[in-house]
Structure 1
Amino acid sequence: FVIFIALLIYAMNLEEFSQSWHFMFAFEPHKITFNTFVESLGQVFFSLSLGVGTIATYAANAQRNENLLKSSLWVVLSGIAISLIAGLMIFTFIYHFGGKPSEGVGLLLISLPLAFSSLGSSGAIIAALFFIAMLFAGLTSTISMLEPSVSILRDKYNFSQAKASYILSSGIFTLGFLVIMWNDASLSLPLIYGKSLFDILDLLTSSCLMPLGMLILLLFLGWHIKKSHLRVWTPYFSNALFYIWWWILRLIAPIIIIAILIS
């Protein structure tokens, strides 16, 4: 947070900050389509690691008297805050060096380094700070994403925490290495249905497995677990709020996720 806020303050002193602000916040209702909502919800799944067991694993390790509603709000609000800070700061840098906003890997690993490199020695300092911040963000995400699988090996198959972590990390490293090699044009590895291995895995996880995993979880909680049990587990809800949440769980959220999957 300290690094990102410092970089934001630096970006606010550049002329292109207003251009970045307009790019992010200019309201153009004619551009809002059904796809806008579908893509936004897909991004929510990715940002909050929904549908992959991460949140359930954290909740299982929480104190029994933990207010999960309050914890969830802190996670969501802090996620929104850091996203807005990062967006304003990143797009200001991109515009400042004459680039155009791209997305995903291209933005982080191609556009930004080129922008930083044109700053000379000060660019090297800013780049170092930025990628240190990204390292922490990536590391914390990696730990949380690994933990559900580690928990299964530890609790069901009596692996030690360290052994489970090493085995899974090795598998992920190997798969990650294959993904990188597939993107190396000089190796001329075959495309799969016209897509690279990275694109296939991206499509499979964010567009299929995560929404499907969340749908199964919602149906299990909303239709299989007794309502009385859910009520006991959520003492921080008022009765009215509980019923609203319960019907979102049973009906509204599953319908939205099915719409995402169909699209």
Structure 2
Amino acid sequence: MPEISGKGRETWATKTGAILALIGVAVGLGNVWRFPYMLGKFGGAAFLAVYLFLIVTIGIPALWAEFTVARYTKSGPATAFIKAGLPGGKYVGWLLVMVAIMAVSYYLVVIGWVLWYFLGSLGGMYTNVDAGTFFENTLGSMSIQAAMDLIVLVFIGMILLGGIRKGIERASKIFMPFFYLSFIVLILRVFTLPGAMDGLAYYLKPNWSAITPMTILASMGQVFFSLGLGATWIFIYGSHLSDDQDLVSSGVWTAFGDTAAAFLAGLVVLPAVFAFGIDPASGPPLIFITLPEVFKQIPGGLIFAALFFLALFLVAVLSAIPGFEIVIDAFEEKFGWDRKKTTIFMIVIEFILGLPTMYNLNFLLYNDLFWGSTMLPIGSLIAIITFTWILGRSKAFEELRKGSKTKFKGTLETVLFYWIKFVLPIFIILTLLWGWYSFFTS
């Protein structure tokens, strides 16, 4: 087995900060944009019940596997699989770095839309304009999208220059509590709307007949992408966990924080759309078209709209930062570049790579199909193979138990190991197939 160095690698300053940073990776646009839409489309509480079951049985074990490999190697994706001894680890690592570079490029454009809607809410720019028209005008303006993208890039760059502790961890400690508090305020306001309780009932009262194979597949896809799995986003942060950090509880808290964010988003969105008689399965435009129309009809709605889009913007930024950190880590190990040099490089290259998405939305859709829906499940499979087949049961569980109060031993260890080794890959392959199916049938 290759020697693990990792000496001098910056770790999170506090255990709470580490957990909030990990939750920040998981909580992003998917929790607020996609989760309520999926609930509306696949039976409300029935989808939620399946989702919660899969978070526990699939999501958390997958997080444990990625955290274990990441901390064992004390490296990001670029070199972790070389150090772990995976055949072809060098090529796998740089492929995952490319995934990060490409996926971030179009994700940043969408974050720019969120920022524009925050500014639009403050300035009342869509008050007297149909929300659909406002969104079309946003997509049709290269100058608006480019300006927002550049602001997002500079904002992220400022956080990155602070490093793991003074940059990312400090931002996570501010942004995540702000998100949760903001959405609690929004929930309290939405619940006062006439008809909102119908949406709450749809959300919380399960219709078990709505659980179909499609519901299960959709829930599985949401679990996978919501948690930031794929040997990339959550992996790079896992590599900065200290040896005394409890990986078991870290996985549980990450999943809990991510699920709580998605649950709160559902409590805002579904009662709001029910209150105004809007189809809860109205699709991805829910955030940029449907909700702005709802906010316009609420007294003082633009204030709540601004709060909504600001909270969404901040967590979206947190979920994008690991993509940059993957490249910073790779370039430092491979080329000796410092953090400042790589950050500036990334700002320039990501702005350029984002231009096609600003020009034509199809670039976003097809890029996401390949770099997101395809490559991330493959990356997660590679992490699981490394955990089970390359590290092996003894080394993997020795690392997983390190710093943990939960000591997987005996039958429990055996069951978990073979669950990760044989069952998780099946679910991940189904997630990959579901992503392709959803793309070509939507």
The TM-score range, normalised by the shorter chain, is: 0.7 to 0.9
Structure 1 residues 104 and 245: alpha-carbon distance in aligned structure 2, compared to 1, 3 A threshold: farther
Secondary structure of 1:234 counterpart: helix
Of 348, 370, 375, which aligns to 1:209? 375
* Pair 1:180 & 2:358 matched: yes
Which residue of 1 is the match for residue 417 of structure 2? Answer: 246
Which residue of 2 is the match for residue 169 of structure 1? Answer: 347
* TM-score normalized by the length of structure 1: 0.87
Structure 1 residues 245 and 47: alpha-carbon distance in aligned structure 2, compared to 1, 3 A threshold: same
Q: 2 CA distance for matches of 1:262 and 1:244?
A: 26
Query: What amino acid sits opposite 1:162 in the alignment?
Result: K
Q: 1 CA distance for matches of 2:282 and 2:375?
A: 22
Q: 2 CA distance for matches of 1:234 and 1:125?
A: 45
Shift of 1:30: 2.7
Q: 2 CA distance for matches of 1:139 and 1:18?
A: 32
Which residue of 1 is the match for residue 278 of structure 2? Answer: 99
Structure 1 residues 32 and 169: alpha-carbon distance in aligned structure 2, compared to 1, 3 A threshold: farther
Of 285, 297, 301, which aligns to 1:123? 301
* Pair 1:74 & 2:233 matched: no
1:99-123: per-residue Cα shift (whole Å, max 9, x none)? Answer: 3224664111111112212335x11
Query: What amino acid sits opposite 2:334 in the alignment?
Result: K
Which residue of 2 is the match for residue 8 of structure 1? Answer: 187
Q: 2 CA distance for matches of 1:37 and 1:203?
A: 20
- 1:85-164 alignment, distance < 5 Å: 85-102=264-281, 105-119=284-298, 122-164=300-342
Shift of 1:93: 2.1
Q: 2 CA distance for matches of 1:174 and 1:23?
A: 43
| Percentage identity across paired residues of the two chains | 26
**Contact 2:199–2:275, Cα closer than 8 Å, also in 1:** no
Of 176, 199, 208, which aligns to 1:20? 199
Secondary structure of 2:290 counterpart: helix
* TM-score normalized by the length of structure 2: 0.53
Which residue of 1 is the match for residue 163 of structure 2? Answer: none
Shift of 1:256: 1.6
1:187-213: per-residue Cα shift (whole Å, max 9, x none)? Answer: xxxxxxxxx222212222342111111
Shift of 1:176: 2.9
Shift of 1:9: 1.1
Shift of 1:34: 1.9
Q: Which moved more, 1:164-173 or 1:142-151?
A: 164-173
Question: Unaligned 5+ residue runs, structure 1?
Answer: 184-195
Secondary structure of 2:319 counterpart: helix
**Contact 1:42–1:206, Cα closer than 8 Å, also in 2:** no
Structure 1 residues 98 and 92: alpha-carbon distance in aligned structure 2, compared to 1, 3 A threshold: same
**Contact 2:231–2:382, Cα closer than 8 Å, also in 1:** no
Question: Unaligned 5+ residue runs, structure 2?
Answer: 1-179, 435-442
Which residue of 2 is the match for residue 188 of structure 1? Answer: none
Secondary structure of 1:225 counterpart: helix
Q: 2 CA distance for matches of 1:90 and 1:176?
A: 29
Which residue of 1 is the match for residue 168 of structure 2? Answer: none
1:146-181: per-residue Cα shift (whole Å, max 9, x none)? Answer: 222221112222121122223223333333332132
Query: What amino acid sits opposite 1:220 in the alignment?
Result: T
CA RMSD of aligned residues (A): 2.0
Query: What amino acid sits opposite 1:5 in the alignment?
Result: I
Query: What amino acid sits opposite 2:416 in the alignment?
Result: W
**Contact 1:51–1:212, Cα closer than 8 Å, also in 2:** yes
Q: 2 CA distance for matches of 1:38 and 1:206?
A: 17
Q: 2 CA distance for matches of 1:220 and 1:97?
A: 50
Shift of 1:2: 0.9
Structure 1 residues 111 and 82: alpha-carbon distance in aligned structure 2, compared to 1, 3 A threshold: same
1:1-33: per-residue Cα shift (whole Å, max 9, x none)? Answer: 111101111112222222222332332233322
Which residue of 2 is the match for residue 258 of structure 1? Answer: 429
Q: 1 CA distance for matches of 2:214 and 2:314?
A: 32
1:37-68: per-residue Cα shift (whole Å, max 9, x none)? Answer: 22211111211110041222112111111101
Aligned residues: 250
Where do 4+ consecutive residues of structure 1 move more than 6 Å? none
Query: What amino acid sits opposite 2:378 in the alignment?
Result: L
